[in-house]
């Protein structure tokens, strides 16, 4: 269950960074793509690390 907490924290950080970018560039599609990309990275990287480390 520790891993779930880490994932949620990383996901939240990615979302915050993405939305900060989105707010600077108002309504810009690359910023939306950046938000989705960061959210995906924050989920995929820890999952890969967990799988590799096991």
Domain boundaries, the chain: 2-53
Task: Categorize the per-residue pLDDT at 52 as very low, low, confident or very high, splitting at 50, 70 and 90.
Answer: confident
Between 48 and 31, residue with greater pLDDT:
48
Nearest to 9 by CA among 43, 36, 40, 33: 43
H/E run at residue 42: helix 29-53
Please give the distance of CA 12 from its chain centroid, rounded to a whole number: 7
In 3D, which of 53, 50, 54 has the Cα closest to residue 6? 50
Q: pTM score, two decimals? A: 0.39
pLDDT at 23: 54
């Amino acid at each position: 269950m520790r891993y779930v907490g880490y994932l949620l924290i990383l996901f939240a950080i990615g979302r915050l960074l993405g939305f900060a970018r989105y707010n600077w560039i108002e309504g810009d599609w690359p910023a939306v793509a950046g938000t989705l990309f960061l959210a995906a990275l924050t989920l995929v990287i820890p999952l890969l690390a967990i799988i590799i480390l096991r």
